[in-house]
Amino acid sequence: MDAAELLNELQSNLDNVIKVLEKIGHIDIRDRGNYLQMSNIDGDNPTALCILKENLVYNNFSHGKKGSFFSLVMNERGCNFNEALQFIAKCIGFHERERIKIRKPFHGFYDELLRAEIAPELSLTKYSERDLPDARSLSKMWFDDGVDFLTQEKFGIRIDHASNRIVIPEYDFYGNLVGAKGRYNGDCSLDERWSMYIPYSKSFVIYGYHQNYDNIQQKQRAIVLESEKAVLQLASMNCNIGLAIGGHDISKVQAQYLKRLGVDIVIGFDAGISNEECKEQAQKVLVDNRIWNNRVGYIDMTDVPDKNSPTDLGINYFKNLMKTKIVWL
């Protein structure tokens, strides 16, 4: 089941959220404008638990817990992530037949945002895997650069032999193929290195979001990187919480989806990007309110050589950065 799409169903109609909460056992839910407030199932403090409407993250003041709506259901029902999704879907009548309807690229939740951001006619075209080259050829160059073959297979990396390019499929938040990048599979000038294999608008996708969503929820942390390769290097280290925004400027759409994760976020841009700029970007994904404050920070890359990403120098170097170089806002 697609967690991001299910979250859209909840957020597009808050009555669905109340249905789930009532099914769990909450009976005194109060609408406070920007948030819902209630007592714990086993308590009588009416202000113990709050859920922010903006992104459905919760803060349980009495129990000292916070996180996404999914983690709330997991905690209160004592179930795993997939069981929580199935329970929520059943509560709100969200079935497979509803998911095959034709929908706008970002569902109803982002209609107003998109109208303010872009021309009304802009949309993300969905493609078939048949539009990509055969997936049986992998990149030895990327293997030598820290992206193992199993990770390449998992993320659909393949070689287009006609152009000698590594092809990186790009998916939207629901797992639909919406484009692909091409990276020359060898030495070349910087101008020739990257291309759009299947053109798409990178401001409306986050690489790894769909694939790593479950792990991010379980770990309650996401690392926002610049490049797809950095996400793949991280996955090759058995760390499946990486996301890439395709540069070092978080768009409004990307910021909204990052905030909706309801987890701690670490910005891990390449060396050469100043701490001031990293801090500015980190502030875009900070949810700052009296109900729930997600921790947001950035990795201080001042001492990292050249223009390496946090993942370029291997697992031990990366672990040290995460241990000693995170600056929390």
Give one DSSP letter per residue of 12-26, joined into a string: T-HHHHHHHHHHHT-
Q: Say which amino acid occupies 94.
A: F
Query: Is residue 110 scored above 50 in pLDDT?
Result: no
Average pLDDT over residues 90-109: 54
Among 259, 284, 281, which Cα is nearest to 301's? 281
Using a CB cutoff of 8 Å and minimum separation of 24, what contacts does 177-180 make?
177/126, 177/127, 177/128, 177/129, 177/131, 177/132, 178/124, 178/125, 178/126, 178/127, 178/205, 179/124, 179/125, 179/127, 179/205, 180/132
Domain ranges of the chain: 3-101, 129-201, 209-328
The predicted pLDDT at position 288 comes to: 63
Write down the pLDDT at residue 293: 61
Give me the mean pLDDT over the 145-162 stretch. 96
pLDDT for residue 111: 45
- Closest C-alpha to 314, from 114, 191, 166, 146: 146
Residue-wise pLDDT for 26-68, tens only, equals 988 999 888 899 999 888 788 889 998 888 888 888 887 877 8
Q: What's 178's DSSP letter?
A: E
CATH no. of 209-328 = 3.40.1360.10
Tens digit of pLDDT for each residue in 206-237?
Answer: 999 989 988 888 888 999 999 999 999 999 99
Average pLDDT across the chain, whole number: 86
pLDDT band for position 109 (cuts 50, 70, 90): very low
Tell me yes or no: is domain 3-101 CATH 3.60.15.10: no
CATH pick for 129-201 out of 3.10.580.10, 3.90.980.10, 3.30.1360.70, 3.40.640.10: 3.90.980.10
Closest by CA to 17, choosing from 66, 68, 69, is: 69
Per-residue pLDDT reduced to its tens digit, 158-171: 999 999 999 999 99
Residue 122 has pLDDT above 80, yes or no: no
pLDDT at residue 5 is higher than 60: yes
CA 292, CA 196: separation in Å to the nearest integer? 39
Backbone conformation region of residue 175, classed left if phi is above 0, alpha if psi is from -120 to 50, else beta: left
Q: Does the pLDDT at position 104 exceed 90?
A: no
Nearest one of 72, 92, 90 to 81, comparing CA atoms: 72
Which range scores top for mean pLDDT: 112-116, 288-292, 325-329?
325-329
Above 50 in pLDDT, residue 113?
no
Q: Is the pLDDT of residue 102 over 70?
A: no
The answer to pTM > 0.85 is no
Mean pLDDT, residues 238-246:
97
Percent of the chain past pLDDT 90, that is, above it, reads 56
| Residues ≥6 apart with Cβ < 8 Å to 116 | none
Measured distance CA(123)–CA(34) in Å, rounded: 30
User: Which residues, at least 6 apart from 129, have a Cβ–Cβ distance to it below 8 Å?
Assistant: 135, 156, 177
Residue 70 to residue 49: CA distance in whole angstroms? 15
